[in-house]
């Protein structure tokens, strides 16, 4: 297993992008390109600011950004 390549497919939240429901949306315009590429991601932006790859590495996990990010994803899926 190549850990570096595996990490590229993980979002900061810890989900594998290939199995994330937000990434798998059938509507190509709404589909997430992966949290490391998307324009705005609450979870990813927080992780970047804290200079960590995964939220699990953060001493504040689970924080409001983590919860807000998942809530936003679920709301978008339900629309």
pLDDT of residue 50: 92
Which residues are CB-contacts of 25 (< 8 A; sequence separation ≥ 6)?
31, 32, 77
Phi, psi of 10 (to 5 degrees): -100, 135
26-30, 37-41, 54-58: segment of lowest average pLDDT: 26-30
* Structural domain that includes position 26: 3-78
**Against a cut of 0.75, is the pTM above it?**
no
How many separate domains does the chain show? 1
């Amino acid at each position: 297993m190549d850990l570096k390549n595996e990490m590229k497919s993980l979002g900061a939240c810890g989900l594998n992008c290939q199995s994330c429901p937000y990434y798998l949306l059938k509507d190509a315009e709404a589909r997430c390109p992966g949290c490391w590429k998307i324009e705005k991601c609450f979870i990813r932006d927080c992780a970047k600011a804290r200079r960590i790859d995964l939220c699990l590495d953060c001493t504040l996990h689970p924080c409001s950004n983590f919860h807000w990010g998942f809530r936003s994803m679920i709301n978008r899926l339900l629309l």
